[in-house]
Amino acid sequence: MSRLAVDLAYLFAGACFVLALKWMSAPTTARRGIWMGEAGMLVAVAATLLKQEVVTYTWIVVALFIGSAIGATMAILMPMTAMPQRIALSHAFGALAAALVGTAEYRLAAPDIHPLKMGVLGAEVLLGFLTFTGSLMAFGKLQELLPTRPIVYRGQKVVNLSVLAAAVGMVALLVPFPGHKELFVVLAALALIFGVFLIIPIGGADMPTVISILNSYAGLSGAALGFVLDNKVLIIAGALDGSSGFLLSLIMCRAMNRSFTNVLFGAFGRVEPSARVEVEERPVRSGSPEEAAMILDAARSVIVVPGYGLAVAQAQHKVRELADLLARRDVDVRYAIHPVAGRMPGHMNVLLAEAEVPYEQIHDMESINLEFAHSDVAMVVGANDVTNPAARHARDSPLYGMPVLNVDQAQTVMVIKRSMNPGFAGIENELYYLDKTMMLFGDARAVLGELVNELLRTSARM
């Protein structure tokens, strides 16, 4: 296939990718977007396989087969609650591929590499390898193979920045001396170590931001590979991926009231207040499912606030069951989603969609926050920090300034929670001590099941 034909195929693929993302702007057109993306990918891969440089197909066929089998199996079997892990893993795979191709390009071309190309190559390999181990670490934390609590020690930032600086130094040395292959090995090793160090101080609650940033890094390493290989469709796709991840991390930062510079260099392990404020034993009102069902029975509007606890308990189907029962009694049920609810952007929406909650009922924070004041019941299922009213008024709270859902403005607040343990951030939630708050302790799925049974029983009595 002529060079021009291949280039045109790549251009077509690039255009398809832009359209695919454009159609993601509405659920009604989003699936069309996938088909567009697939069409672009198919054309690009087919054109590549017909390139003159490609002379043997044995290993390509083997790799395509193994990759498709693994990818398809994961896509079919992966439960929706494990979506954040899967995304983290795919960032790792993407970055690994980019880094390995970069490494091979270096080994094939060294020592005769133009300084400019060496600089790009070094940056590409650095970004690729650090995203690879960083994403694997994120996967480990999300899968709870690694401790999810942030691990911090004195001088951590200094250590991290030194490792990064050393890696950048290797790139700087390679630019004038591309023949020193040992420098390249050290560069790769430092990048791999930095990726690990980057994620160590990060706790579970910061995962939405971290995943978005790793998304951005993975995109950038792809774009950098495009520069190395002089392949324009790689640059386009990498730029789209990078800007998407960057935009999502900005949204996540805003939702947590953290500055982007605070996050950019992995300094985002939330610093816990060293002297945790001693909270005196305050009474909380613990309610029974019967009481809660009675209140729900009399309510006209209910807003459900799901959080990570809902995903852990796999309670999305029970929530929908309860909502259906209430809807049959003409109760208006809506869902309020905080941008950082769950472990990745949009995590809760996918779970609710899986439980067949119609998406008109799902509202983001901005559009629903004024509605709490007019609603009878706000039901918090496994969410914590994003409902803490202290964020609005307590200047000494670490959460101060973070936009929260105004759950406390509802007539009655029900909180379904396993225990009084404070969440990841270790911050007391004053919502639980309000007079209007009723705590329903237990596993979210079990508690919701009891509520459903109670409601069924009262309707049988009627």
Partner 1 sequence: MLSRLEIGLYIFVLATFLGFEVIRRVPSLLHTPLMSLTNAISGISLVGSLVLAGSGRGAMATALGTIAVTASTINVVGGFMITDRMLRMFKRRDERKPK
Q: Could you report how far apart the first and last alpha carbons of the chain are, in Å?
A: 76
Strand partners for 223? none
Active-site residue flag, 241: no
Catalytic residue among 230, 385, 396, 443: 385
H or E element in which residue 387 lies: none
Angle at 357 between CA 353 and CA 361, to 5 degrees: 110
The answer to whether the CB of 222 falls within 8 A of the CB of 94 is yes
The answer to whether the CB of 196 falls within 8 A of the CB of 134 is yes
CB of 347 to partner 1, least distance (A): 6
The 8-class DSSP code of residue 157 comes to H
Distances (CA, A) of 172 to 183, 225, 245, 262, 357: 10, 18, 27, 26, 53
Distances (CA, A) of 284 to 142, 422, 428, 434: 31, 14, 13, 8
Of residues 18 and 161, the one with the C-beta less far from partner 1: 18
Cα 37 from Cα 20, distance rounded (Å)? 5
Smallest CA-to-CA distance from 447 within 286, 277, 228, 330 is with 286
Of residues 255 and 425, the one with the C-beta less far from partner 1: 255
Of residues 54 and 420, the one with the C-beta less far from partner 1: 54
Tokens 């869902």 locate to 335
**Chain centre to alpha carbon of residue 211:** 4
CB of 315 to partner 1, least distance (A): 17
Smallest CA-to-CA distance from 33 within 21, 48, 45, 42 is with 21
Of residues 63 and 456, the one with the C-beta less far from partner 1: 63
The answer to whether the CB of 397 falls within 8 A of the CB of 391 is yes
Of residues 52 and 421, the one with the C-beta less far from partner 1: 52
Q: Cα-flanking dihedrals φ and ψ of residue 54, to 5°?
A: -80, 110
Cα 41 from Cα 36, distance rounded (Å)? 9
Asked, as a colleague might, if the bond just before 147 is cis with ω within 30 of 0, I would say: no
Catalytic residues: 385
